[in-house]
Structure 1
Amino acid sequence: MSLITEFQWVPFKADAMSSPAGSELKKLVPEMRARPGLLHTFHGAPIEKPQSREFVHVWESESAYRDSKTLPVQAQASQLFRQLIDTSETAFAPFRAAVALDRPFAAVAAAPVVSLAFMMLGADVDVKAFEAAWTAATASVAESGSKPAGFVAGASGWAVEGKVFVVVSGWESVEANEAAHETTKAAFGAIRGFEKTVEVHHTSFSAPPQ
């Protein structure tokens, strides 16, 4: 039984948390944290869009994640979130992905900066070919004998719905991540042809009091 890591990015309106809907949402937080099967929750503001919020929920199983969608408190929270979302910038549309990561997210979230890359693949993409290209690329980087400067931890995996491959990596800084992109560009060049769209942003996470 593998853990499921749910990523949720919400672009909030400027006055979202001070609005009546924001106040009601805050009241639901204890009940949201107590949902069955929820192990950990992290949150942060994407550096590229500070008004937005990134929520990450780690579930004990896929069934726990799916069951959470049917809870009354989830329906209440979703209704309130809809009132708080900023829909004026289509480039920052809200999204959610539930992912079976190959390593625990907590080690990545502990880094000062986390890079989150969501690769949306075309419907006709050969998944096995993509995985072979990804394995070859990561092996090539590993063979260099040393990890990129500033790298803390990483994880990757497929979303449970749709052809979405997610890569999360922890870094000492955004600059360290960008420098690593330059040095590994050749190794990962082979996977570029598989991507339909890619969403990448950086977030500093904190875990709320339990």
Structure 2
Amino acid sequence: MKRLFKHLYFGIFNRVFKLKFDRIIGDLDPLVPVYLVDIDNTLADTWPSLCGRVYGNERDRYRSLSVFLGMRKLIVHQRTMAKVIFISARSYLNYQVTKRWLESCGLGGCDLILVAKAADKMYYLKTLVSREITVVYIDDLSYNHEHGELKLYHEMILELKDLPVTYLGLEEIELINSNCEPNRV
């Protein structure tokens, strides 16, 4: 029964976010580029929050995250000329806390899509590409930092190389963020 409920839960929220995304991009001017931006370890200094410190719950941990000022500055600048959509592999239950965190960082007003796992982001990228929208995808596509061995989603990175998108990955993100220290919010 629990497995059925979980499957139903993920299916419903997955569909809700796909419908929301269709609505978001349905009104876009095809000449306006879309910046699809990851949150964890791209905009938010997330991985240190997974080490050692104990939080009351996941929402408290998300509220405590520092923002990378370099990435924030880039997004603030780009959203004057492009559509910015944040996309993150987080529990659907964390939508509101994620939205409020973005607002606290001065990034309110941008759309937010949550997915169950990193690979689910490909659907959104491919949807934009299929509509011939110019896409800049910013995502470190990394995991496992907290265990001392950074790993990359190599299959996704290879798949991205076959898509007509501008991809800013781990190296570019580190360069953008290297000039500014994370800022506690």
TM-score, normalised to structure 2, is 0.25
Larger strand share, 1 or 2: 1
When Rg is computed on C-alpha atoms for both structures, the one with the higher figure is 1
Tell me the TM-score normalised to structure 1 length.
0.23
More helix by share: 2
